[in-house]
C-alpha cells in the first residue's frame, strides 16, 4: 500500500474541503403508478461557504 491509500481523512476535514470549493447536488424523483407520472420533483442544491470573496446571494434581502 502506498501512503495515499492508507491516508485517513476526518469528517470535519472532508466537510471543510467540500465547503471551501462548493458542492452541487442534483436529483430527480418521480412518483408513478401504472405507468402514469403523478408527481415529479427536480432537486438542485448548491452548498458552499460564504465569505468576503464569495458574498451571500441573499445579502440585499436581509
Residue range 16-60, pLDDT digits in tens: 877 777 778 889 999 999 988 899 999 888 777 766 776 666 666
Grade residue 15 by pLDDT with cuts at 50, 70 and 90: confident
CA distance 4 to 26: 30
| Burial class, 48, CB count within 10 angstroms (exposed 0-12 / middle 13-18 / buried 19+) | middle
**Which positions ≥6 away from 38 have C-beta within 8 Å?**
31, 32
**Which has more confidence, 29 or 3?**
29
Reported as type and span, the H/E element at residue 12 is helix 11-21
Contact of 45 with 24, CB cutoff 8 Å: yes
Amino acid at each position: 500500500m502506498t501512503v495515499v491509500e492508507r491516508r485517513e481523512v476526518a469528517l470535519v476535514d472532508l466537510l471543510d474541503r467540500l465547503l471551501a470549493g462548493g458542492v452541487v447536488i442534483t436529483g430527480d424523483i418521480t412518483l408513478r403508478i401504472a405507468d402514469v407520472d403523478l408527481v415529479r420533483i427536480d432537486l438542485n442544491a448548491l452548498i458552499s461557504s460564504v465569505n468576503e470573496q464569495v458574498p451571500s446571494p441573499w445579502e440585499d434581502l436581509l
